[in-house]
Amino acid sequence: MLDDDPTAWDEISGWIEAARVGYVMEHNRLGVMGHYYGGMLDIYSDLTRQCAGFGGHVEMVELASLRADVTPAEIRDRVARFREAFDVQPDCPEEELERAARTSVALDRLVETHRLGSMAYYYMGKGSPANEDAISSIILGTSLLT
């Protein structure tokens, strides 16, 4: 059955992949940024249940303060990387690319500092201008991380 049996090998491959995912989840460091709100059932996750079921570690993280240390040279380099990786439209304002670049570099530092394997974030958008600025410019950086 094992030699040249695609059905058997497809099933074996499925079990191997399931074991790999289980291992990754058990050793994952999940960064959680932001806060949940009442009634947020579409993307809410019970972090205690997740750790109990899969293992892993949850790290509560904050991004806004890391943006302050990003240098103009790092911003220029990241904008260039954006232009290589994405189809940046000519009408995209340079200042928005620079804002996204600052956040992207800070995200890389966040992931490295906390050794994150995954990240979840949500910010409702009121109360902290620094958090609002970070979260509203996070898409390109998270796309690069993915």
27-73: per-residue pLDDT in tens?
999 998 877 667 777 667 778 888 898 889 999 999 999 999 999 99
The predicted structure's pLDDT at residue 125:
58
pLDDT class of 99 with cuts at 50, 70, 90: very high
The predicted structure's pLDDT at residue 43:
66
pLDDT class of 18 with cuts at 50, 70, 90: very high
Buried b (16+ CB within 10 A) or exposed e, 74-109: bbeebbeebeeeeeeeeeeeeeebbbbbbbbbbbbb
Q: Which residue has the higher pLDDT, 79 or 134?
A: 79
The predicted structure's pLDDT at residue 124:
63
The predicted structure's pLDDT at residue 1:
66
Q: Is the pLDDT of residue 2 over 80?
A: no
Q: Rg of the chain's alpha carbons, rounded to an integer?
A: 19
Q: Is the pLDDT of residue 113 over 90?
A: yes
Q: Apex CA 60: angle with CA 37 and CA 48, to 5°?
A: 70
Lowest mean pLDDT among 17-21, 115-119, 127-131: 127-131
The predicted structure's pLDDT at residue 66:
95
3-state helix/strand/coil string of 25-94: HHHCEEEEEECCCCCCCCCCCCHHHHHHHHCCEEEECCCHHHHCCCCHHHHHHHHHHHHHHCCCCCCCCH
Q: Is the pLDDT of residue 126 over 70?
A: no
